[in-house]
Amino acid sequence: MTMTRAERILAAHSNRDQVRAGEIVVADVDLIMAQDGTAPLAIRSFSSISDRVAYPERVAFVIDHNAPSPAESVSVLHQQMREFCSRHGIRLFSEGEGVCHQLMVEHGLVGPGDLAIGADSHSCTYGAVGAFGTGVGSTDLAAAMATGQLWFRVPPSIRVILSGRLHPAASAKDIALHLVSQLGPDGATYSALEFDGDGVGGLSLDERMTISNMAVECGAKAGLFAGELGEDPGSAKYEETVEIALDRVTPGCSVPHAVENFTPASDLGDILIDVAFIGTCTNGRYSDLETAARILAGNTISPGVRLLIAPASKSVLKQAAESGVLSTLLDAGACLLTPGCGPCVGTHAGIPAAGEVVISTANRNFQGRMGNDDADIYLASPATVAASALTGHITDPGRYLA
């Protein structure tokens, strides 16, 4: 019987010819990643299991969530990471390098057919390159560092068929928001999403990363695009099939305080904003900054609005600096942040004040997510965020992107 992408990758990594959804396997892991929010606990757990990292070349630590450190207590945790990496010969991406998931893809640390775990829920992003990427906790990560393996329950798969083409104003982020709205926050719990359809071919790597990144927001274990050509995806057994007609995807927002609360941007015109944020593993790539620059070129953002830009990596920043995109954004009034997670997790780099409204390209808008329980977060695409920064209220980017 033909296996799903998830089954195929887990079988290959556990020395099995065939596995089926529901089975437990112990598999070799190609990439073992932790970030500064999860690595310190993983280091602590590891010390109770082993004193030797089995395959240090497969491990990567990233300082991105709280980078550079905003407090002494955080600096201590970063220091623990630096010492651990030095002692065990592990690659460390230090503050300013960028967001963990962006770096793993940019540096080729994850590729088609790989099995990758990250102590970060958005490790599903690696599905964009055809890897089975999944989020795990610090203790699972420590176990994988000690053994090079981890146990997995093979997930069932949900087929997501993307057909047609996006309108110019709509983007991959809007596809992701539509999908989460359709499946709900637990519509894909324990399952792997498998993306197919004639619409997939028209998506760039950046766009696939945005979509895979948000698979976890519907509860999914992984969100897999095809790793290689010549597959026959349709004949495997799927739990469910979901269809999204790309030409019916409209620019919109997840409104407070849940990701699945999708509303078209054109219905939110009376929402005034204080902060516009472009960045994160979801939408901090060059194409995202370039789209924002296209909308903001020659203009300045609305008075009273702060536009924060956190490039997802140093190379994104360099590219934007070299191409003029960065200048355009700065001239429009943008505030440039260190490549990294920025204000996404509410610990530094732009915590909103009580009563403020943020429109953000991040992936979560839970109450208090950005560090203030009394601020509202609307999730949107870079185009919608840029258009809203221009006008001062939530704005459909259509008229800027004809």
Partner 1 sequence: MNRISGKIHLFGDNVNTDYIIAGKYKFKTLDMDELARHVFESIDPEFSSRVQTGDIVVAGSNFGCGSSREQAPLVLTAAGISAVVARSFARIFFRNAINTGLAVVECDVTGARTGDRLIIDLAGGQVELPDRGLQFEAVSLPPAMMQILSDGGLIPHLQQHGTFRVGGNP
**What residues make contact with partner 1 under the rule CB under 8 A?**
22-26, 36-38, 40-41, 44-45, 48-49, 65-66, 71, 73-74, 77, 119-121, 123, 135-140, 142-143, 146-147, 149-151, 153, 185-186, 189-190, 219, 221, 258, 345-347, 364, 366-369, 371, 373
Q: Per DSSP, which regions of 269-353 are E strands?
A: 275-279, 306-310, 334-336
Amino acid at 30: D
Smallest distance, Å, CB 61 to partner 1? Answer: 15
Cis bond leading into 56, ω under 30°? no
10 Å CB burial of residue 267 (0-12, 13-18, 19+) is middle
Question: Between 123 and 287, whose beta carbon lies closer to partner 1?
Answer: 123
Smallest distance, Å, CB 348 to partner 1? Answer: 9
Those residues whose C-beta lies under 8 Å from the C-beta of residue 51, and which sit 6 or more positions away, are: none
Question: Between 293 and 369, whose beta carbon lies closer to partner 1?
Answer: 369
Question: Between 53 and 334, whose beta carbon lies closer to partner 1?
Answer: 53
Smallest distance, Å, CB 102 to partner 1? Answer: 18
Element (H, E) at 42: helix 39-49
Using only the alpha carbons of the chain, give its radius of gyration: 20
Question: Between 66 and 381, whose beta carbon lies closer to partner 1?
Answer: 66
Question: Between 188 and 389, whose beta carbon lies closer to partner 1?
Answer: 188
Question: Between 41 and 92, whose beta carbon lies closer to partner 1?
Answer: 41
Smallest distance, Å, CB 261 to partner 1? Answer: 11
Residue with tokens 């943008």: 334
Smallest distance, Å, CB 190 to partner 1? Answer: 5
Q: For residues 74 and 69, what is the distance between their CA atoms, to the nearest angstrom?
A: 6
Q: For residues 246 and 248, what is the distance between their CA atoms, to the nearest angstrom?
A: 5
Smallest distance, Å, CB 75 to partner 1? Answer: 11
Element (H, E) at 224: strand 222-224
Contact call for residues 137 and 150 (beta carbons, < 8 A)? no
Smallest distance, Å, CB 48 to partner 1? Answer: 5
Q: Which residues pair with 262 in a beta bridge?
A: 254
Smallest distance, Å, CB 137 to partner 1? Answer: 4
Name the DSSP class of 108: T
Question: Between 330 and 351, whose beta carbon lies closer to partner 1?
Answer: 351
Question: Between 81 and 249, whose beta carbon lies closer to partner 1?
Answer: 81
Smallest distance, Å, CB 290 to partner 1? Answer: 29
Q: In a 3-state reduction of DSSP, which class is residue 263?
A: strand
What is the pairing mode between strands 275-279 and 115-119? unpaired
Smallest distance, Å, CB 171 to partner 1? Answer: 24
Question: Between 48 and 235, whose beta carbon lies closer to partner 1?
Answer: 48
User: What is the greatest pairwise CA distance in the chain?
Assistant: 62
| Per-residue burial over 41-77, b = 16 or more CB atoms within 10 Å of its CB, e = otherwise | bbbebbeeeeeebeebebbbbbbbbbbebeeeebeeb
Q: For residues 146 and 210, what is the distance between their CA atoms, to the nearest angstrom?
A: 31
Element (H, E) at 371: none
Question: Between 37 and 398, whose beta carbon lies closer to partner 1?
Answer: 37
98: left (phi over 0), alpha (psi -120 to 50) or beta: left
